Structure 1
């Protein structure tokens, strides 16, 4: 039988707080979503000034990253590189800003951020995740 880590309330709170702090430090109005390894919502916050659509996009970026076991940017790069057939895949968040939470080599969740430039979204997500992974 295999075992793996899971995100508990302590980790969820730490990740969300660190991501929120990164966004606020830069004055970025974003939505921040955290999901488990199956893409199910664990936390969502839409900072003041973030568009309502950013919450849905952040959740889909997180879900895409969790289910794909990679950063959502990989799918964006694939599509931009000409593999347009991938647009038919059942993933809606194929834009940069979804980052997996990896512990002991296993994906245990993912964070998605939306609201600013894609690389800034990813920066916020990575800052959140680093709070528990170092």
Structure 2
């Protein structure tokens, strides 16, 4: 299964709907399995810095096939791969990046959200993921 444009659009819409509920302008980035940009939305008022952060969160999730915050455990000071976050053009090892999986568990892409506090980005990312999962079930 490949990530479709329709699925990517649903992810953007699901993320934006949750962000609107929270009164939070965010950026949502959707990447394919190769960590290439598939879809993107910057809500009105979202800060410019969030563009790069959302894409890096999604990239981190795609490359490591794990939520972006999970990667921190490998690269934090004293961890076995300290400095890992500096690889691949720079990773974002905090919450808001989630891999996208097909029904058989294969990673087919990732999404990243930035614009609020990390806890808010995670909440928006979870809503975006939920919109994707509704389509594939």
- Category of TM-score, reference length = shorter chain: 0.7 to 0.9
> Any conservation in 1 of the 2:100–2:108 contact (CA below 8 Å)?
yes
Q: Residue in 1 aligned with 2:64?
A: 68
Structure 1 window deviating more from structure 2 (56-65 vs 120-129): it is 120-129
Q: Residue in 1 aligned with 2:97?
A: 98
Q: Residue in 2 aligned with 1:115?
A: 115
Structure-2 separation of matches of 1:86 and 1:107: 21
> Any conservation in 1 of the 2:85–2:92 contact (CA below 8 Å)?
no
Structure-1 separation of matches of 2:127 and 2:65: 18
Structure 1 window deviating more from structure 2 (89-98 vs 123-132): it is 89-98
Quick one: structure 1 residues 77 and 115, their matched pair in 2 at CA, closer, same or farther if it must change by over 3 Å? Answer: farther
Structure-2 separation of matches of 1:113 and 1:87: 18
1:120, distance to aligned residue in structure 2 (A)? 1.4
Long gaps (5+) in structure 1: none
Q: Describe the SS at the equivalent of 1:109.
A: strand
1:81, distance to aligned residue in structure 2 (A)? 6.1
Long gaps (5+) in structure 2: none
> Any conservation in 2 of the 1:44–1:55 contact (CA below 8 Å)?
no
1:48 is matched with which residue: 44, 50, 53?
Answer: 44
1:20 equivalenced with 2:16 (yes/no): yes
